[in-house]
Structure 1
Amino acid sequence: MTPDENNNDVRTGLIAGLAAYTMWGFLPIYFKVLGPVAATEVLAHRIIWAVPVGALILTFRNQWPEVRKAFSDWRALRGMGITAAFIAVNWGVYIWTVQTDRIFQASLGYYINPLMFVLVGVFVNREVLRRGQIAAVALAAIGVSVLTIYGGVFPWISFVLAISFTFYGYLRKTVQIGAMPGLFIETIWLVLPAIAFWLWLEMQGTSAFTPDAPGTIGLLLLAGPLTVIPLLFFAISARRLRLSTIGFMQFLGPTLQFCVGLYYGETFTTAHAICFGFIWVAVIVFSLDALAAGRRPKRVAEPA
């Protein structure tokens, strides 16, 4: 690959990554607009309409062979059934959190998510923490403790979001399949219960997806593209950028979510200010440590 081709790849990766995290960061606005629709129904439509959008993208990218290969492997299929359950919990709790004016908790959850990955590495993979990682985890723990003790509220929503996405990400790495084919299979696992729930709402006469509300129908149909397209951008980015670069970019999403929370006038107490202050310092320490580790030359193992 020539230097020009490499520069173009990096530029494309940066644009795609920024697009993905920006869309994820402003996603709360979409769920706020859909506030009158129950979070469970929004979740059902998010799953249902992600399937045809995913199918179109798989066709465009010629990735159906990877999907067929996964369907012939029961172990991989079962693994994605488990990851589908975790991502459904994450999506559902996130939608409900935004609709009930708790965007700050959602933002906090995605700030501490990378630190959760570090802890999984320690307790599951027996990895040894670097000093910067230890400091970042300690700072985040202090921030959460302040919010719990001084603010009188344990941020359980933040932990549900962080833990569900951490387990999703960890288990997802154990299944050898690309981002788009994997998401498609996960939504296939979820789509029948989602359709059944939608039909039940229709029979009860409580569905928001009615001809009397064409605007709401349009918004619910939009759930598919808003679910799949950011992941497509992220997949493009991940193939072209270093992990340390993606590590920096992943904090853009919760930062934008935090700004959206401010825009909607959510209560921001002194406890929140102290907690987020510690979290932001932890993010800086975590990012600088990751950057330093990425630049450090790797030792070449000597032959035995």
Structure 2
Amino acid sequence: MNDKSVKAGVIFALAAYFMWGIAPMYFKLLTSVPALEIVMHRIVWSVLVLCVLLLIRKKFKQIFTAIRDPKVMIILAISGALLALNWLTFIWAVNNNYLLEASLGYFINPLFNVFLARFFFRETLSRLQFLAVLVALTGVMYLIFTHGQIPWVALALAITFSVYGLLRKKVSVESMPGLFIESCIMLPFALLYWVVMEPSSGNMLSNTTDLNIKLVLAGVVTTAPLLCFTAAAKRIRFTTLGFFQYVGPSLMFLLAVVYYQEPLDSARVVTFIFVWSGLLIYVYDSLRIYRKSRLGNYK
């Protein structure tokens, strides 16, 4: 990859994680709507937004190419299902005051990114990077043993999004056409739910104008960061992408503790200290490797 492509990837990654970091503020405005209904609206309006963007940018040729490849379609079907599950878990967590645990999930997400990168892309890990993963994992295990239960929200978010990123990196489909295909695969299920279950927010004529605007904006809120993420995944190393993952959960953590005042008990404080310590080790080593590679001395 050339320097220009890498720089573009860094910008896309920062944009994606910043938007994800402040996304809870949007979903907090929809606490009166069940999480599954919000996911339904996210899928429907995302398809429409993406369709308009694809028409403007004349990208439909890539969609037809991808559709003719059964392997690509299978991967995108799986990634689409993972994406829907990730959306549902995240929205439920935000609207049920589990934003702190959601932020933890995205903090430990790079743990899975690192291992997936090691086994699927053969990306090597230095000793310090391995130590960083071990330190962060210790923090997660401490929380599990202290509370006596698995932080399922955090783990579900971390696993689904890590595997989603892996799958999207495995297919040679650009971000926008790929996301459109994923959304179209999910669309029949969303429409079936809309028609059969008759959700309370489904009748747009009886909703308030304010609610309708918020629901339609779900397409924009969904599309923008995902497009940036998949664009970044195509341009930078998978482990590097994991580093930028910390921007989003850091913003979520601040929102949860400072703005929404979710309780932060001692066990979670210890867990976050371990995770942040692992982050510092990882950042230090990543910068060290980057500087040496720039000088041509890294072996």
What does residue 226 of structure 1 align with?
A: 221
What does residue 83 of structure 2 align with?
A: 87
Asked whether 1:290 is paired with 2:283, we answer: no
What does residue 265 of structure 2 align with?
A: 269
Give the direction of change, closer, same or farther, for the CA distance of 1:99–1:51 in structure 2 (3 Å limit): same
- On the 8 A contact 2:100/2:256 being kept in 1, the answer is yes
CA drift at 1:109: 0.7
Structure 2 counterpart of 1:158, from 154, 157, 172: 154
Asked whether 1:177 is paired with 2:164, we answer: no
What does residue 189 of structure 2 align with?
A: 193
Q: How does 1:1-304 map to 2 (within 5 A)?
A: 10=7, 16-123=12-119, 128-202=124-198, 207=202, 209-234=204-229, 247-262=242-257, 263-297=259-293
CA drift at 1:206: 6.8
Number of matched residues? 294
Gaps of 5+ in 2: none
Give the direction of change, closer, same or farther, for the CA distance of 1:186–1:102 in structure 2 (3 Å limit): same
Can you list the C-alpha shifts for 1:170-199, whole angstroms capped at 9, x where unaligned?
122221111111111000100011011011
Gaps of 5+ in 1: none
CA drift at 1:76: 0.7
Which residue identity is paired with 1:135? L
Alpha-carbon separation, structure 2, partners of 1:61 and 1:234: 19
Identity across aligned pairs (percent)? 38
- On the 8 A contact 1:208/1:216 being kept in 2, the answer is no
Alpha-carbon separation, structure 2, partners of 1:147 and 1:95: 23
CA drift at 1:216: 1.4
- On the 8 A contact 1:80/1:186 being kept in 2, the answer is yes
TM-score by length of 1: 0.86
Give the direction of change, closer, same or farther, for the CA distance of 1:89–1:134 in structure 2 (3 Å limit): same
Corresponding residue SS for 1:267: coil
- On the 8 A contact 1:83/1:186 being kept in 2, the answer is yes
Alpha-carbon separation, structure 2, partners of 1:36 and 1:227: 19
Corresponding residue SS for 1:268: coil
Corresponding residue SS for 1:163: helix
- On the 8 A contact 1:31/1:95 being kept in 2, the answer is yes
Give the direction of change, closer, same or farther, for the CA distance of 1:239–1:154 in structure 2 (3 Å limit): closer
Alpha-carbon separation, structure 1, partners of 2:227 and 2:94: 23
Alpha-carbon separation, structure 2, partners of 1:86 and 1:133: 27
